[in-house]
Amino acid sequence: MDKEKITFSVQMTAKEVYMFTMYHVYHGFSGILGLCLSLVALMNLVLSFDSLSDQNKTILTFVAAWFTILEPIRMFFRARKQVKRTKAYSQPLNYVLDEEGITVSQDGESQTIAWGNLAKIVKTKSQYFFYSSKIHAFIFPKKDIGTQCEALDKLVIQCTKNTNVKRKGSFPRYID
């Protein structure tokens, strides 16, 4: 493998944390179940509206809104609070991705995580999530990676092909 090195910085924002949280929650069992419950409540409300008591209409409206309106709003405010209280997010995090792994640095300190120590890598429309555990991930907005996204895809595929790291999303199947 050539010595591909991808370097970029990320200034974490509430929007980026919110998008990660939305993906993480709504691609898990509880998020999918919650959406299904909201959908069933909405369908029941619409189809049985005339025969429902006011109390049942209120309950069904609340259940229908919980995972589709209320939970996303709550997650946004939680993400905003998390960005404000997390000291590491107060300034950019600098990343170098190469065949050794992911090196993150800030204020003269750095740490490298080997590719094999990652659990999963997810590529979405606007971000990459490099999970170091089931719930913790490095969030890499594509806007911060810029023109290096294709090189990052190639590096991820090359460095994870003989590991237990799962790749999800729109990674190319084969590389040149």
Q: Which two tokens stand for residue 138?
A: 């490095």
Q: What is the mean pLDDT of residues 120-145?
A: 95
Taking the model in full, what pTM does it have?
0.86
For position 41, what pLDDT does the model report?
Answer: 96
* Three-state secondary-structure class, residue 74: helix
Q: What is the mean pLDDT of residues 42-52?
A: 95
Residue 171: pLDDT band by 50, 70, 90 thresholds? Answer: confident
Q: Check whether 159 has a pLDDT greater than 60.
A: yes
Give DSSP secondary structure letters for 132-167.
SSSS-EEEEEHHHHGGGHHHHHHHHHHHHTTSS-EE
For position 1, what pLDDT does the model report?
Answer: 46
Q: Check whether 2 has a pLDDT greater than 60.
A: no
Residue 176: pLDDT band by 50, 70, 90 thresholds? Answer: low
Identify whether the C-beta of residue 42 lies closer than 8 Å to the C-beta of residue 52.
no
* Residues 6 or more apart whose Cβ sits within 8 Å of residue 130: 102, 118, 121, 137, 138, 140
For position 4, what pLDDT does the model report?
Answer: 83
Return d(Cα 49, Cα 146) in angstroms, integer.
50
Longest Cα–Cα distance of the chain, Å, equals: 69
Identify whether the C-beta of residue 42 lies closer than 8 Å to the C-beta of residue 62.
no
* Three-state secondary-structure class, residue 135: coil
Can you name the residues that pair with 120 across neighbouring β-strands?
131, 166
Q: Which is it for strands 93-98 and 6-10: parallel, antiparallel or unpaired?
A: antiparallel
Can you name the residues that pair with 84 across neighbouring β-strands?
none
Beta-carbon-side half-sphere exposure of residue 170 (alpha carbons within 13 Å):
6
pLDDT tens, residue by residue, 53-97: 999 999 999 999 999 999 999 999 999 999 999 999 999 999 999
Percent of the chain with pLDDT over 90: 89
